[in-house]
A and B are shown apart, each in its own frame.
Chain A
Amino acid sequence: MTAAALRHARYVVTENPITLAAFSMLLMLLLVALLGPALAPYDPLKSDTASTLKPPSARHWFGTDQLGRDMLSRVMVATRLDMAIAFSAVALSFAAGSLAGACAGVFGGWTERIVSRISDTIMAFPLFVLAMGIVAALGNSVFNVILATAVINLPFYARMARAEANVRREAGFVEAARLSGNGTMRVLAVHIYPNCLPPMMVQASLNLGWAMLNAAGLAFIGLGVRPPTPEWGILVAEGASFILSGEWWIALFPGLALMLAVFCFNLMGDGLRDLIDPRRRT
């Protein structure tokens, strides 16, 4: 990256304290995700029947669950899985949706009709229910959760990309590109598509939070990721039955982690767009 780009990045992050906070949290989450198992004080899968259902203490910051497993370790290790699912799902959705939408916006005609109808069909369902249906049909696995989450988010990207491409299609630089000998595919790939992306980055960031909630939600009801794999949704589900009997910490901490992650993604939206859109760089 050039010096100017780095300077701009630093400016964007420091200008708004909220963006700074969001980026710091994200960094922390990524760190925990990458190094999770190494950082965790205990083995998340190891049960210790001697210390079950212990409240938060100096030894176990987040307490222990019904099998004596350290909650802090479980929450930390689960970060990796949740982040991975969220990023993969959004990446997949973004890639497929933006390409389909851009093609629809540029070519019109049948391409647009097909993409629109598929989008409409997906959106006709309550999205979470559709995700449930996909995972139930295809089987419980991490990949299927990613796939389901990606599918239900497709229409948003497709629609945005289509609108952006439609606007850009008439732009002067697109005509200039055609005059310079760029064929239609090149114009789409090199000139129109990259310019559609910056506005979609905000959407992508918001989507990350959504995707994470989706995956956690599916796990909460027993679809997709299954125990004993640590995943925030599963942890909350396991902890839910203990709330009434007074062991509040089992569900609370994974829930807080989930909330923190989603919150941080949402705040990042604007900051990310500022970074990527060259027009904002001064």
Chain B
Amino acid sequence: MTAAAPLLSVESLSVEFRTRDGLVKALDRVSFEIRRGETVGVVGESGSGKSVTAFAIMRILDPAARITGGRVAFDGVDLVAARESELEARRGRDLSMIFQNPRTALNPIRQVGRQIGDVLLRHGGVKRGEVRRRAVELLAQVQIPDPERRYWAYPFELSGGMCQRVMIALALACGPALLVADEPTTGLDVTTQAAIMDLIDDLARATQMATLLITHDLGLAALHCERIVVMHAGHVVESAPTAELFASPRHPYTAKLIAATPGPGVSLDELAAIPGGLPDLRGELPACRYSRRCERYAPFCDEPLPLQEIGTRHTVACWKPL
């Protein structure tokens, strides 16, 4: 398969946070890419840096954060080097994001239809008179019943699942090429979760939109993503096509993560625990941030760590892959 130029290419991205207790090295040389129309999952536990990555790509990091290296090439433009005005023009139009808690991500004192209208006016090139009709259309597209009436609803009047649908409508209003979804279904019921993820899949397929799905739920990523990137403590430890990742994980952490996730065939005794905890990202860190928890640790693991390519689009960051 010819390697088409990827839509999004994160190259060696490093991010630091200034806090009262020191410098937190949240991301260290994170690299991965997404092609047009592809769904990629970024999976990791809390503290792995997956949300930071999403925010860094959208350039909406906290003011205490600094991108200390690397670039984020989106459609040929380096988002790290771009000016704020350029970023503002692109956000919402070319790349957009949906967040974890839908109710707090929407403006609580503005009707949902109007919020969609705002995006349409700013980026969609839609004339004022057309905005309401188009917004109602979008609400219908995300399967909100009675969209005419719901246009005037406030977020607090809608359920969590409906708010999430509104957020999807907002994000997709201008047909972006990339959707970044940060834990979009955490906190939702499993049936609602399935419906929301199906909706995202359907819409993405219809418009050839690429999706970056950030989640801690390995099972969810397995269901909806073509490729998965596994993160640990600010590092990308492995990335591979989904089937290959589960069939033959090459990084010890990936294997442990899979073994720790409950599923139908696994009994309680077989469920793996991952010893140790995340390293303190403020202090001195070893080259491989998983090394201190790894049972395969050897002295050469302290050498600076490359990301090795070990198969078609299968990379792993380990001196002793499985």
Q: Is B20 an interface residue (CB 8 A)?
A: yes
Which residue from chain B places its CB closest to the CB of A11 in the assembled complex? B20
A1-50 interface (Cβ within 8 A of B)? 11, 15
Residues of B within 8 A of A15 (CB): 20
Chain B interface, >50% SS class: loop
Q: Is B21 an interface residue (CB 8 A)?
A: yes
Residues of A within 8 A of B21 (CB): 282
Interface string of B131-147 (1 = CB under 8 A from A): 00000000000000000
B1-27 interface (Cβ within 8 A of A)? 20-21
B294 to chain A, nearest CB (A): 29
B119 to chain A, nearest CB (A): 34
CA distance A11 to B20 in the complex (A): 9
CA distance A281 to B21 in the complex (A): 11
Q: Which B residues fall within an 8 A CB radius of A?
A: 20-21
Which residue from chain B places its CB closest to the CB of A282 in the assembled complex? B21
4 CB-based A-B contacts, threshold 8 Å: A11-B20, A15-B20, A282-B20, A282-B21
B174 to chain A, nearest CB (A): 39
CA distance A282 to B20 in the complex (A): 9
Residues of A within 8 A of B20 (CB): 11, 15, 282
Which residue from chain B places its CB closest to the CB of A12 in the assembled complex? B20
CA distance A282 to B22 in the complex (A): 12
Which residue from chain A places its CB closest to the CB of B21 in the assembled complex? A282
A177-210 interface (Cβ within 8 A of B)? none
CA distance A27 to B20 in the complex (A): 26
CA distance A182 to B237 in the complex (A): 49
A10 to chain B, nearest CB (A): 13
CA distance A11 to B19 in the complex (A): 13
Residues of B within 8 A of A282 (CB): 20-21
Residues of B within 8 A of A11 (CB): 20
B22 to chain A, nearest CB (A): 11
A-B interface, 4 closest residue pairs, ranked by CB to CB distance from nearest:
A282-B21, A15-B20, A282-B20, A11-B20
CA distance A11 to B21 in the complex (A): 11
CA distance A15 to B19 in the complex (A): 12
CA distance A282 to B21 in the complex (A): 8
CA distance A15 to B20 in the complex (A): 9
B9 to chain A, nearest CB (A): 37
B215 to chain A, nearest CB (A): 26
Which residue from chain B places its CB closest to the CB of A15 in the assembled complex? B20
CA distance A128 to B219 in the complex (A): 64
Which residue from chain A places its CB closest to the CB of B19 in the assembled complex? A282
